[in-house]
Amino acid sequence: MQLRLVGDIKYHLLPGTNRKTTDIVIERDGTIAVRPPISMSPEQVDETVFSKRIWIYRNLASWNDLNTQCVKREWVNGETFPYLGSNYRLSLMEHQAEPLVLKNGRFCLLKEMVASGPQACHDAFERFYTQKGFDHISKRVTFFSKKIGVKPGKVLVKNLGFRWATCQAKGDFYFHWKTLMAPLSVIDYIVVHELCHLHHRDHSDAFWNEVDKVLPNYRERKEWLRVRGSGLTL
């Protein structure tokens, strides 16, 4: 990945692929990632980015507006944490077998985790989402892969930084544990989005047509993620 500057636009140039169009994406951290056709030179990519500068400015402004909604949660009784689209209040417990469990409609966290510091609490939740996420997402990958007509590789749930998910060249799929905070319908959109990349590696019209075949209302789910995704955090 190469960092390049065109005017006042700084972007990450990703390795090229066998595509006909240049894919420009505003990542969740506000950085700009550009994946061009393999035939394009860096200078040609610069020209393309410059020609799309109005679109980039507009989307960066939108990103700034949306990220004012970012939630900072506290490790106190009554704080809410989302899981599969529902919010559950936190209860701090003196004793229980596991550091964190979901029972009786509440997240139950050992008080000693809070005493250990914010990172210990964060890690307990991340482990919960990762473990629970693998089972749920694996089932949805199996379900939708049959509809799309693809054979996915292995499925992993992990910390992906500022990406919700990614489809690897060999057909393996990685999903961010934060996706488990989203509603089921939005998780399905993320799964379908990645599976369709086995047919189309870019975000061309053909790709979105493939997504539309499986989820005719995918635009609503995509918009939910765009508008409210910054709130899916600890």
Q: pLDDT digits over 60-88, tens only? A: 877 776 566 667 789 999 999 999 999 99
141-178 burial code (b ≥16 CB/10 A, e <16): beebbeebebebeebbbeebeeebbebeeeeebbbbbb
pLDDT of residue 67: 64
pLDDT at 137 over 70: yes
Q: What is the mean pLDDT of residues 179-197?
A: 96
| Mean per-residue pLDDT, 161-188 | 91
* Mean pLDDT, the chain, whole residue set: 91
| Residue from 42, 38, 47, 41 nearest 17 by CA | 38
**What is the reported pTM?**
0.76
Q: Cα–Cα distance between 48 and 56 in angstroms, integer? A: 11
> Does residue 174 contact residue 160 with C-beta atoms inside 8 Å?
yes
| pLDDT value at 59 more than 90 | no
Answer yes or no: are the C-beta atoms of 140 and 157 closer than 8 Å: no
Tokens of 102: 């979901």
Query: Pairing state of beta strands 32-35 and 9-13?
Result: parallel
Tell me the two tokens of residue 125.
Answer: 């939740």
Distance (Å, rounded) from C-alpha 181 to C-alpha 196?
Answer: 22
Mean pLDDT for the stretch of residues 117-123 = 94
- Predicted confidence at residue 26, as pLDDT, reads 84
Res 65: pLDDT: 66
With contact defined as beta carbons under 8 Å apart, do 192 and 211 qualify? yes
pLDDT of residue 20: 80
Phi, psi at 12, each rounded to 5°? -95, 120
- pLDDT, mean of residues 11-25: 87
Alpha-carbon gap, residue 96 to 104, rounded angstroms: 14
Length of the chain equals 234
Q: Is the backbone of residue 110 left (phi > 0), alpha (psi -120 to 50) or beta?
A: beta
pLDDT in tens, 81-116: 999 999 999 999 999 999 999 999 999 999 999 999
What's the CATH class of domain 80-231?
A: alpha beta
Could you tell me the residue ranges of all domains in the chain? 2-69, 80-231
pLDDT score of 190 more than 80: yes
Reduced to 3 states (helix: H, G, I; strand: E, B; else coil), residue 175 is strand
pLDDT bracket for residue 133 (50, 70, 90): confident
Cα dihedral 12, 14, 20, 25 in deg (nearest 10): -50
